[in-house]
Amino acid sequence: MRSIRFPDGTEVPALGQGTWHMGERGADRAAEAGALRLGLDLGLRLIDTAEMYADGGAEEVVREAVAGRRDEAFIVSKVYPQNASRARMAKACEASLRRLGVEAVDLYLLHWRGGVPLAETVEAFESLRRAGKIRRWGVSNLDVDDLEELGAALPDCATDQVLYSLEARGPEFDLLPFCAGRGMPVMAYSPVGQGGRLLRNPALRRVAERHGVGPAAAALAFVLRREGVIAIPKASDPAHLRENARATGIALSEEDLRELDAAFPPPRRKAALAML
C-alpha cells in the first residue's frame, strides 16, 4: 500500500479508517471494534476518531480495537473548538486519552475553527506535545486563508482534514495544491459520500465495473489518485472494509477520469470549503 509522509518524516498508509457514527449504540460496539481490528489486519493502520463522535463513544470503540495492538495503530483524534484553548485543551486531551486507553495520541486535530484564536490553539497543542500527550498536531475543516494565518507555525501543522470526494471536489482548486507545496498531507473525510447517493451514480458504477470492484472502491481510488491524500472511510461491515481495501490496487485510466470529470466536474473557481 502506498504510504503518505507527514512533515516530520512519519509514514502512514494512504488508506485509513474513520469512526464517525461508531459508538452510538452499545450493542454495535463489539462489531465496530472487530471491524477496526480487521482493518489493522488489512494494513489500514491509521484510525481517525474525535471526542465529538458519540460523545467519546467512538474513542472507546478504538480502545477496544487497539487493545494489545497499540504499536500497530496510528491514532488520530480531534478536539472540539470550544476546548481548543490554553485553559481547556489539556483537560479535553486527558479525557480522550482515558477513553482511548493510550498514553499519547499520534495526531491531535482542531476539529473546526471556533472562537479561540488559532495562535492560542497552537500554543496549547505545543504544550501537549512537550508534555508527551500528543506526538503531532494538525487541523480540520480549515481553508487556505486559515492555514496562512498559522504563519510561522504552519510547518509544524501535520495535516488538514477536510471533506473531499467526487461530490465535494472544492479542495482541488487551491487547498490541495497549497498543502502539497508545503509537504502537508490532506486527510479526506467522507470520501465515498453520505447516504449512498454517490455510490449509485451510473458513471462511477461503470468505472467500477471496468476494474472489477464495487463503486466504493472506485470512489476511493479517485481520492487516492492524488499524491499526499489520505482517505479515511468508515466501514463497520467486514465485506465493505475488504472492498475499501481493494481501492489501493486500482489505477484509474484517462478514460475513467474523463468519465468521472463529466459526471462530477472539477471546480473552476474558488468556493467556500464544504464541511459536514
Residue 21: exposed, middle, or buried by beta-carbon count in 10 A (0-12, 13-18, 19+)? middle
The contacts of residue 9 (CB under 8 Å, 6+ apart) are none
Give the C-alpha separation, 234 to 35, whole Å.
10
Grid cell 495562535 — which residue?
119
Of 53, 108, 164, 189, the active-site residue reads 53
- Please state, as a whole number, how many other Cβ atoms lie within 10 Å of the Cβ of residue 11: 12
Q: Residues 78, 111: contact at Cβ < 8 Å?
A: yes
* DSSP per-residue letters across 129-191: HHTTSBS-EEEES--HHHHHHTGGGGGGEEEEEEE-BTTB-GGGTTHHHHHHHTT--EEEEST
* DSSP per-residue letters across 254-270: HHHHHHHHHHSPPPSS-
Give the C-alpha separation, 68 to 260, whole Å.
42
- Please state, as a whole number, how many other Cβ atoms lie within 10 Å of the Cβ of residue 170: 20
Q: What is the dihedral of CA 222, 224, 229, 230, to 10 degrees?
A: 120
Question: Does 240 belong to an annotated binding site?
Answer: no
| Residue 53 a catalytic site member | yes
φ, ψ for residue 79, nearest 5 deg: -105, 140
Give the C-alpha separation, 48 to 17, whole Å.
6
Binding residues for substrate: 111
Binding residues: 111
The catalytic residues are 53
